[in-house]
Structure 1
Amino acid sequence: MKTRAAVAVAPETGLEIRELTLDEPRPDELRVKIIASGVCHTDAIVRDQWYPVPQPVVLGHEGAGIVEQVGSAVSGFEVGDKVVVGPSFCGQCEQCLSGHPMYCVDFYDRNFGGKRGDDSTAFSTDDGEAVGSHFFGQSSFAEYTNLPAHGAVKVPHDAPLELLGPLGCGIMTGAGAVLNVLRPKPGSSVVIFGTGAVGMAGMLAAKAAGATTIVMVDIVPERLEFAKELGATHTVNSKETDPVEAVQQITDGGAEFALDTTGVPPVFSQMTKSLAVQGHGALVGAAKLGTEAPFDIGTLLVSGITVSMVVEGDAVPKEFIPRMIALYQEGKFPFDKLTKTYRFDEINTAFADSAAGTTLKPIITF
């Protein structure tokens, strides 16, 4: 069938909306009509080739839509089901079987390879040129796409698909890092570096978990003020104040938990130094491959801190996405306040607004 899709063709270049041919779904796949897809920082850095995903390729990995066709080997889905789509994983390796599919041994190839395991792509041009697909197991910047059924999560029929796509990556990353990895107890202290969508989602999750001291660190005054409106108890402008000193003062010696959503080496160092004795910090911000960050092993050795590298919130999407939806419905996780919708033909404006920080979480609607 024919479908319109936004195609990444070169670094630092706007996506091109093209009409492509979509092949038949494989036996283990679903064909999904995408209703909306979030725009994530990872889409931008892959467009710009921080990670060497072959181009041309259809990006997009925060899709939500309606099942149009069910592969012959798929069970548990029917035409008309509403789904939110998460990353792809094998389901058979030790990490998948132990409940950590975001660390699947095949995670990189399945999500950044730009093709299926048999080297085929779902998209092609009229003259037969292959166009990369299956980005994060979905390539959701398309009106229709074929995707592995195991990555799809059924949601209720009254679920607002135009809002839920980011639960499959950006919102899941921030909230999952807090709820699944850091696991702050009620009454605890949390500091979060970065007030983008991932950082704000982490903040909302910390609040839902009962943390009573939540410090947000950034350099943009407007976003820090917005963080306060959403529930931060303290904010620190790290352009004006040493964030390590500020956090230690606010928390009387250091935060019990910390999250770095920036992937910026000096910020990572600040996060490690902001932790209390035996505190736990997590890094979720993506950096270029090969990026190294300073880590004061001499001073920090006696602190007993733990630092975790976290992918996709270490979530099991079929368990965690419904949990986030339940928290949202209870009014305890208002991630909708982070979003702004754009038409499909405004996709490059959405990317630009995200890069400029004027929109925390753009959502493209079809």
Structure 2
Amino acid sequence: MKKPTHILVLRLSALGDVAMLVPVLHILTQTYPNLKITVVSRAFFKPFFKDISNCNFLEADVYGKHKGFGLFKLSSEAKKLGIDAVADVHNVLRSKMLRTHLWSMGIKTATIDKGRAEKKKATASKPLKKLQPLKTTHQRYAAVFSMLGYPIDLKKYTPPRNKELSEKTHNLIGAHTQKLIGIAPFAAYKSKMYPLPMMREVLEKLNAQKNYQLLLFGGKNEVKQMEEISAGLQNVKVVAGSLSFEEELALISNLDGMIAMDSGNGHLAAMFGVPVLTLWGVTHPYLGFTPFNQPRENQLISNREKYPLLPTSVYGNKYPKGYENAMQSIPVKLVVEKAVAVF
């Protein structure tokens, strides 16, 4: 059977999951330079794909012109681009509608297996005697392209080059000779967030090292809390809320390391081959969401002896009473020592 030449890739959200797709597409297009890719996602994520060869972007305006049955208009737009296959690496209602409509037009499709049953078992209310690592999200993405005739080796990744920093970014971080370390202290759920008083201690100890410039990343609504935990620390700067998204991406590409929760910023750094130290709460790296190419020793996990039901959730939104404090079991001393060792 003839292999497709132009694959439509469906991944509409969320930030971390879309970011995890980026290194996979880099490897895919580096391995098959004649293959054409069109990514369907939300406009906000378009900068992710700028550096991927033979990759175009089609905006999914799911709250505007493509809302509801407007998805059929989106599939028609995709068909006009000359696609001859669909890789659904999202597998939710919207992507199913798009995929099915294109399949009805005679276009070959392949769909991700999210391993829902395995993940449900791993997060069950009974503690597992031995937690086994599941397939990573990157492996699950790669399997979809293999179904379409394009197997890839995830070990063969050449990260994109560091992006040029804007004048605004240079002015924000200032002249320095220290290593640039990003720190993203927030997550969607408290259960995935290192306690801020403990993060303050981490900042104090790393600040005292004097060979790091520590940059705090996060949302605009988190800036005040970041300013509070970094107050009086000479080598710590809050960059959240001060840069455009593209400027933040460029800055992340120039980091020497990133400390993150199980959240999007760790995946953004991993896209650029930046070493990432991840702190895990009620979720767990074995569920498949470790940032790309980051070793096991870079994953600091809450104490499973004290919290035997870990992991309790794939996304961090479900946990028994008291488990929202699981990250208190990761000692500040360990975080600092590991950061110094890795960065």
Normalising to structure 1: TM-score of the pair?
A: 0.31
By percentage of residues, which structure has more helix?
2
Normalising to structure 2: TM-score of the pair?
A: 0.33
By percentage of residues, which structure has more strand?
1
